[in-house]
Amino acid sequence: MKILVTGSEGQLGRDLIPRLKAAGHDVCGYDVGSLDITDAAKTSELVAAEKPFVIINCAAYTQVDKAETERDAAYAVNRDGAANLAQAAARCKARLIHISTDFVFDGLKSTPYAEADAVNPLSVYGASKLAGEEAVAGRLPEHIIVRTAWLYGGQGNNFVKTILRLASERESLNIVYDQIGTPTWTSDLSDAIVLTVKAVESGKTPYGVYHYTNEGVASWYDFAVAIVEEARRRGLKVKCNSLEPILTSGYPTPAKRPAYSVLDKEKFKKTFGVEIPYWRVSLKNMMTELYGGGIA
């Protein structure tokens, strides 16, 4: 099956494409250098030339804080780019799998967010991603929107890489503990998307919105502690001997984050028949993949 992947050089795209190829699909990957999805005419032209059965949109403007002052840039990619892909897919009778975010919620709940829960983004980034969801849904019935959260992987920059670097340089780190969510390994999300593609190919998949993250719940502080523990197990350089939990108010940022953004994944698990790994297990597997098993 022919699949077109945007954002091919991002941390998700770089994990996803090899898995799609291993599943036997004909995959063409495009990043911003070869496909600017904000250009409607060129997007339509390229999709028409490739004739994919499925488009997977991993392209996004993800600089959450910069988006507060770069609103037009965020909306151009996250809303207009998504709309352009959906329109191009509709013309070619392709299906679209669009990756979205937990930032569409305001974080005021204390139980996991289901797909049908009210959305209320707190930031420009979250609002632009919600606008992208709405653009896709309004232009292409044959769509699947996958909301995910706290992505990290072996490719690119992410929280795991940042903590490993800072822990090797500093004796003490202050980490926010009152923002709650679920770390998600890009390899696990990629495997889940491959299953989603298989279901779409079968023609029996209910279209619409789905949630996928790893299982479990953590604060950024919990996540950082686990990262440092895994680093020590592998004999990596760790200078840090003190991780201090702090409130969000002690680490102000331009963009407001949801305090609680755990996603309910029951719909995804039941629809696609997938078992989702616990986030600590996935973090251990990611660290083993990058740095080896270390000591028990």
At 58-113, the pLDDT tens digits run 999 999 999 999 999 999 999 999 999 999 999 999 999 999 999 999 999 999 99
Read off the tokens for 222.
Answer: 């919990």
Per-residue pLDDT at 155:
85
Segment 177-186, tens digit of pLDDT: 999 999 999 9
Instruction: Assess whether pLDDT exceeds 80 at residue 295.
Output: no
- pLDDT tier for residue 171 given thresholds of 50, 70 and 90: very high
Fold of domain 2-158+184-214+260-276: Rossmann fold (3.40.50)
Read off the tokens for 285.
Answer: 């597997």
Q: What is the H or E stretch that residue 145 is in?
A: strand 143-148
**Residue 22 DSSP label:** H
Q: What is the H or E stretch that residue 198 is in?
A: helix 186-202
Per-residue pLDDT at 44:
96
The amino acid present at 85, given as its one-letter code, is L
Per-residue pLDDT at 294:
63
Instruction: Please state the φ and ψ torsions of residue 77, each to the nearest 5 degrees.
Output: -85, -50
Per-residue pLDDT at 110:
93
**Residue 68 DSSP label:** G
Segment 194-240, tens digit of pLDDT: 999 999 998 888 899 999 999 999 999 999 999 999 999 999 999 99
- Residue % of the chain over a pLDDT of 90: 91
Per-residue pLDDT at 296:
47
Domain boundaries defined on the chain: 2-158+184-214+260-276
Identify the CA nearest to 98 among candidates 49, 144, 40.
144
Tell me how far apart the alpha carbons of residues 51 and 277 are, in angstroms, rounded to a whole number.
34
Tell me how far apart the alpha carbons of residues 103 and 114 are, in angstroms, rounded to a whole number.
13
CA dist 188 to 51, 127, 148, 275, 283, Å? 28, 26, 11, 10, 11
Read off the tokens for 93.
Answer: 């009778």
pTM of the predicted model, to two decimals?
0.95
Read off the tokens for 216.
Answer: 């479990």
Segment 10-60, tens digit of pLDDT: 999 999 999 999 999 999 999 989 999 999 999 999 999 999 999 999 999
Q: What is the mean pLDDT of residues 243-263?
A: 94
Tell me how far apart the alpha carbons of residues 90 and 93 are, in angstroms, rounded to a whole number.
5
Report the sign of the C-alpha dihedral through residues 115, 121, 125, 128, in that order. Answer: positive
Q: Annotated catalytic, 291?
A: no
Tell me how far apart the alpha carbons of residues 54 and 95 are, in angstroms, rounded to a whole number.
5
Round the average pLDDT of the chain to a whole number and report it: 95
* 168 touches 237 (CB < 8 A): yes
Task: Calculate helix-pair angle for 186-202, 279-291, nearest 10 degrees.
Answer: 110
Determine which one of 61, 125, 177, 212 is catalytic: 125
CA dist 5 to 18, 34, 84, 132, 134, Å? 11, 12, 14, 17, 20
Q: Exposed (0-12), middle (13-18) or buried (19+): which is 69, by Cβ within 10 Å?
A: exposed
Per-residue pLDDT at 79:
98
Per-residue pLDDT at 205:
82
Tell me how far apart the alpha carbons of residues 126 and 65 are, in angstroms, rounded to a whole number.
11
Alpha carbons within 13 A on the beta-carbon side of 112: 20
